[in-house]
Amino acid sequence: MVGMEACSWYDEEQTTMNYLVFNWKMNPGTRSDADKLMRAVIKSGKKKNVIVAPPFAYLERIKKMIQKTSIALGAQNVAFSQPSGGMLTGEVSASMLSDFGVEYVIIGHSERRYQLGEDDVHVRGKVEMVQKAGMVPVVCVGERHNMSFSRAKQAVIRQLFAGLKNASPRKKLIVAYEPVWAIGGDKDVSPSRAVRMIMEIQTWLDRRVKKNVPVLYGGSVHADNADDFLAHRCVKGLLVGSASLNPKEVSALVEKVR
């Protein structure tokens, strides 16, 4: 299998992860619920390598809450360019986010690609802006429909190629494999297929961008199935949507962080 050399073994004992990214998406609905949720993350113990990406409206309060912890702040979006005079209504620049204390930015999420028309030019620009501003892009890739492995691989590699064209090999980068059809919190995903794709992604990154880019898995991950993905050395962490809104799931997942 192509990609085996990049990451070749499976270790049932190794079910801890390097990165746990909570993507709250457009949730929760109120500031007080955001505080409650954040308290659950903070209460759950180990905090290193836990990244919380709340909606922009809650960034300020979440930042205050995590001040004395090692939880990192993430954003769910960023402007794809920085035109002179700041002429980009409704957008938030990478320099603003970095100045604010954001360390990670989710880019190219399928909800942005397919519901908001984010294209390769946007993804590429955002990666460049985020890296230049000293933050870490978390670039999402994934096939849109449940299709054969080889077609899915083609789609994923195309997204990597287009989105990472201007990525700097000298700067940090994280890639998240999220098969779009597996997003929603309750979809039946095969960990072995996901791992196989992550191995392909790792091989591509090793050759085309740089070695040891962490690759995460996202799509219907919860505490009960997390270990099935994390048992493989190639999977460096998880990008979690639905389960990140449930305090019980949150503590169980944070427990697994290295």
Binding site for ligand 13P (CB under 6 A): 23, 109, 178, 183-185, 218-221, 239-243
CB of 187 to ligand 13P, least distance (A): 7
Q: Which amino acid is at 217?
A: Y
Q: How far is the CB of 2 from ligand 13P (least distance, A)?
A: 26
Q: Report, in Å, the least distance between residue 218 CB and ligand 13P.
A: 4
Has 109 been annotated as catalytic?
yes
* CB of 123 vs ligand 13P, minimal distance in Å: 15
Closest alpha carbon to 140 in 168, 169, 118, 171: 118
- Of 83 and 184, CB closest to ligand 13P: 184
Cβ closest to ligand 13P, residue 16 vs residue 242: 242
Closer to ligand 13P at the Cβ: 12 or 188?
A: 188
What is the three-class DSSP state of 136?
strand
| E strand or H helix that includes residue 51 | strand 50-53
Per annotation, catalytic residue among 109, 122, 222, 232: 109
Q: Show the tokens assigned to 131.
A: 């890296």
Helix (H) or strand (E) segment spanning residue 235? strand 235-240
Q: Tell me, what amino acid is at 250?
A: V
Q: Rounded distance, CA 54 to CA 133, Å?
A: 20
| Cα torsion through 162, 163, 165, 166, rounded to 10 | 150
Judge whether 178 counts as a catalytic residue.
yes
| CB-nearer residue toward ligand 13P: 6 or 236 | 236
**Active site residue: 143, 178, 200, 249, which one?**
178
Q: Give the residue among 139, 208, 229 at the shortest CA–CA distance from 176.
A: 139
Residues noted as catalytic: 109, 178
